[in-house]
Structure 1
């Protein structure tokens, strides 16, 4: 038997899940998710309208342009964390600077939710270390 599974095999989903888990473990995945979620919550209040009964409220200020720039850059840095894990320190540092810049520029950093999510994601990205491949323990090969 060659070890390959047939096409209609139910194990294909398990194989895909294993490949995804292997890909996910080789990069700061949670840091990227939190950074992108923070970017979305920074972008959202500037472009969404709130409707209460017949009253529609739009936050139409100069924060719209700043939110678009900061949110877009945070999304790109979150993707860099996933696609270029070697640059995790650069992406995390840039995300911290952008998240802090979002306080005065874009509605208090997405009403502090985007600020906190982006800062947490950036800190996780900076603190992330690549996992070392497991090797045999050095003392296991030595005789007693």
Structure 2
């Protein structure tokens, strides 16, 4: 092998992994995952029958339906954080509120596990902001490429003191 030998084309696995990495980076992926993982213990523990030796422990509460609804809503909010990133603030606030409601309704929020995961995921969803790569993804939406040479919306300001309002016939006027 020499230095001039071309590199091998990436395989199917590498290409898919890089595609997933790009998809994950353009949305609040970890926030959605934490919210979904928080919904499972909240939904599961009220219906679980734990076996300790010959002793069966039932965690059933009178609010079993409430726990099921809270858990399903948290899972739906986690999925919406993944696929509808523009509703991230609403989904984050709703996840935090549902996590707080799960404390009295669902065995202390799924034995605090679901509560903590949902709180952290909701806070991450609220705090997430699109990175620089997300702007390029949005500009090519619906298969329409962005115009060549188009200036981004949040372009840096010119702080040199000259602006079109201060220019008169190519001369700079004071103030």
For the aligned pair, the TM-score class normalised by the smaller chain equals 0.7 to 0.9
Give the TM-score normalised by structure 1. Answer: 0.84
Would the aligned equivalents of 1:63 and 1:107 in 2 still touch at CA under 8 Å?
A: no
Rg bigger for which structure? Answer: 2
Following superposition, the deviation at residue 54 of structure 1 comes to 1.3
Counterparts of 2:110 and 2:118, CA distance in 1 = 10
Following superposition, the deviation at residue 63 of structure 1 comes to 2.8
Q: Which has the higher contact order (CA 8 A, sep 6+)?
A: 1
Aligned partner of 1:142 in structure 2 is none
The answer to whether the aligner puts 1:107 opposite 2:124 as a matched pair is no
Which stretches of structure 1, 4 residues or longer, exceed 4 Å deviation after superposition?
none
Provide Cα deviations, 1:15-69, integer angstroms capped at 9, x if missing partner: 1011101100010000011111111111121111111111111112223111100
Give the TM-score normalised by structure 2. Answer: 0.69
1:1-144 matches, within 5 Å, as: 11-133=11-133
- More displaced stretch, 92-101 vs 61-70: 61-70
Gaps of 5+ in 1: 1-8, 139-144
Structure number having the greater helix percentage: 1
Provide Cα deviations, 1:90-125, integer angstroms capped at 9, x if missing partner: 100100110000011111111111111100000000
- Number of paired residues? 129
Following superposition, the deviation at residue 10 of structure 1 comes to 6.1
Gaps of 5+ in 2: 1-8, 137-155, 157-175
RMSD over equivalenced CA pairs, Å: 1.9
